């Protein structure tokens, strides 16, 4: 559905991003807006599209994390150009508070949604990366918005996302959930008590317009898995420390690596956090998919960095063994971790 003029601009923007050339990138966006392109289309089809390829370049090991961040900084400057533009448009609808849950440091997706809603006449208050529930609460009571939108792109932010949903719905405020951590369908968002789910900016605009004025407080989560998730969170550091000493992600398992960008040790820390967050997400939402998805993601990540994929299976076994005190979590890992491997050994 890309508009012809936008495709060419998107190419130029992509090159500016790859070159970390902020003036060039913001110039492309300024030109598009000046010639009357829809700000939402600019956000989605130019900036978000380029940003997705930035993430892929990191995952494939082509870019170190700092370069990914540098490119993201250019995207943020480009988004700011759109923000200045949409701020001049009239407010014709109610108020929406858009926030990243705690542990969610990717502020860009929430900014995109916020500016897209602003472009559609909503009065938007954007709370930045990793917002505490106490801070969100204060804004909800001060502003009395018509809706709250919560963004979680990392699985580790989902428990805090649930606390956001509790805070908003306790005040009767409907919640729109979005971001890749919620997965490809509404299942996780609705399991956590969100009023609606949207996979992107266009659908977020539709969904916010259709939200009810008042919602009941979110129902409690199923008690047993929620209790186990809380305990898992308490034990997080201990479990990570245990896995770090037992998982043989070390130099001797590296095959001849063409591109080893970030050190595998650094990646390992992220991986172990991520894996435990996936287990937490599965417990909280009743959706086991985060577990095989994380195994598959890890297999890709290691393959791109020249490490042996058997390390994924090893981690699954260590994880299951380490989760002895967490029967539901252990069961999820045993049942679903290998599913992610089967998918990658084609």
Partner 1 sequence: MQPGTDAPATTGPWTGLTERVTGELAGSLNLRRTALRLLDLLCPAFADWAVLALPELRSGRLVLHGGAELTATTPVTVRVDPDTGLGRVLSSGRTEVLHVAEEDGTALDAMIPHPRLREEAAELRPADIVGVALTARGTTIGVLVLVRGSNRGFPAEDVETAERLAARAALAIDSAQLYEDRTHVASVLQAGLRPPELPELPGARIAARIRSAAEHLDLSGDFYDVHGAGDDWLLVLGDVCGKGVEAAVLTGRTRQSIRTAAYFDRRPSQVLTALNTVLYEAESSRFVAVVCVRLRPIGDGSSAVASVAVAGHPPPVIIRAGGSIEQIEAVGTVAGVLPDLAYREVDVRLHLGDTMLLFTDGIYEARGADDFYGMGRLVELLPAYAGAGPEPVCEAVEQDVHEYLGGRPHDDMALFAVSWGR
Tell me the closest approach of the beta carbon of residue 166 to partner 1, in angstroms: 10
Q: Shortest CA distance to 178 belongs to which of 113, 108, 84, 233?
A: 113
Classify residue 197 by its DSSP letter.
Answer: E
Q: CB-wise, 46 or 78, nearer to partner 1?
A: 78
* Neighbouring residues of 153: CB distance < 8 A, sequence distance ≥ 6: 104, 106, 109, 179, 180, 181
Q: Could you tell me where the beta strands, DSSP code E, fall in the chain?
A: 95-100, 123-126, 147-151, 175-178, 196-197
Contacting partner 1 within 233-292 (CB under 8 A): 237
Please identify which residue in 56, 91, 217, 342 interacts with partner 1, judged by CB under 8 A. 217
Nearer to partner 1, 179 or 316 (CB): 179
Q: How big is the CA angle at 158 (ends 139 and 230), to the nearest 5 degrees? A: 105
Counting contacts by CB under 8 A, is residue 53 touching partner 1? no
Binding segment for partner 1 (CB under 8 A), chosen from 15-23, 176-184, 187-195, 200-208, is 15-23
Of the candidates 89, 95, 113, the one whose C-alpha atom is nearest the C-alpha of residue 205 is 113
Residue 149 DSSP label: E
Q: Minimal distance in Å, beta carbon 314 to partner 1?
A: 26
**Nearest-angstrom CA–CA distance, 166 and 302:** 37
Distance between CA 49 and CA 276 in Å, rounded?
A: 29
CA–CA dist 330, 325 (Å, integer): 8
Tell me which residue of 204, 193, 60, 53 sits closest to 119, measured CA to CA.
Answer: 204
- Residue 64 interacts with partner 1 (CB under 8 A): yes or no: yes
* Residue pair 118/86 in contact by the 8 Å Cβ criterion: yes
- Residue 52's contacts (CB-CB under 8 Å, 6 or more residues apart) are none
Indicate the residue among 136 and 196 with the shorter CB distance to partner 1: 136
Question: Can you tell me which of 213, 230, 255, 335 binds partner 1, judged by CB under 8 A?
Answer: 213
Cβ 4 to partner 1 shortest distance, Å: 29
* 202 near partner 1 (CB under 8 A): no
Q: Does 230 bind partner 1 (CB under 8 A)?
A: no
**Sites for partner 1 among residues 19-38 (CB under 8 A):** 20-23
Stretch 152-191 residues interacting with partner 1 (CB under 8 A): 170-173
Question: Which 87-146 positions form the footprint of partner 1 (CB under 8 A)?
Answer: 94, 105, 129-132, 134-135, 137-138, 140-144, 146
Beta carbon of residue 148, minimum distance to partner 1 (angstroms, whole number): 11
Judged by beta carbon, residue 131 or residue 195, the one nearer partner 1 is 131
Interaxial angle between packed helices 264-285 and 158-170, expressed in degrees from 0 to 180 and rounded to the nearest 10: 40
Q: Find out whether 208 and 96 touch, Cβ atoms under 8 Å.
A: yes
Of 76, 260, 296, 328, the one binding partner 1 (CB under 8 A) is 76
Q: Is 69 in the site for partner 1 (CB under 8 A)?
A: yes
Neighbours of 237 (CB within 10 A): 11
Report the nearest approach of partner 1 to the CB of residue 149 (Å).
16
**What residues line the site for partner 1 (CB under 8 A)?**
20-23, 64-67, 69-70, 72-74, 76-77, 94, 105, 129-132, 134-135, 137-138, 140-144, 146, 170-173, 213-214, 216-217, 237
């Amino acid at each position: 559905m890309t508009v012809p003029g936008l495709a060419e601009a998107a190419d130029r923007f992509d090159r500016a991003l790859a070159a970390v050339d902020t003036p060039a990138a913001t110039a492309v966006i300024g030109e598009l807006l000046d010639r009357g392109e829809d700000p939402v289309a600019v956000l989605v089809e130019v900036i978000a599209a380029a940003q997705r390829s930035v993430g892929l370049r990191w995952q494939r090991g082509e870019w170190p994390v700092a370069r990914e961040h540098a490119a993201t900084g250019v995207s943020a400057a480009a988004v700011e150009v759109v923000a200045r533009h949409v701020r001049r448009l009239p407010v014709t609808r109610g108020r929406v508070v858009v926030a990243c849950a705690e542990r969610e440091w990717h502020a860009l997706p929430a900014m995109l949604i916020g500016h897209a809603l602003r472009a559609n006449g909503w009065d938007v208050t954007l709370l930045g990366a990793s917002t505490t529930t106490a801070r969100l609460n204060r804004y909800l009571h001060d502003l009395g918005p018509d809706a709250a939108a919560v963004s979680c792109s990392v699985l580790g932010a989902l428990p805090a996302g649930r606390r956001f949903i509790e805070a908003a719905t306790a005040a009767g405020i409907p919640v729109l959930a979005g971001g890749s951590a919620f997965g490809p369908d509404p299942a996780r968002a609705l399991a956590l008590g969100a009023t609606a789910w949207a996979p992107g900016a266009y659908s977020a605009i539709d969904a916010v317009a259709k939200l009810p004025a008042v919602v009941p407080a979110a129902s409690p989560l199923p008690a047993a898995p929620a209790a186990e998730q809380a305990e898992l969170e308490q034990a997080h550091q201990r479990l990570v420390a245990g896995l770090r000493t037992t998982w043989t992600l070390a130099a001797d398992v590296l095959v001849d690596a063409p591109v080893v960008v970030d050190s595998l040790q650094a990646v390992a820390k992220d991986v172990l956090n991520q894996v435990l967050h996936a287990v937490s997400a599965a417990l909280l939402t009743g959706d086991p998919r985060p577990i095989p998805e994380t195994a598959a993601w890890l297999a890709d990540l290691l393959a791109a960095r020249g490490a042996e994929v058997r390390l994924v299976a090893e981690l699954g076994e260590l994880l299951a063994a380490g989760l002895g005190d967490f029967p539901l979590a252990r069961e999820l890992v045993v049942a679903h971790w290998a599913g992610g491997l089967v998918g990658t050994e084609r």
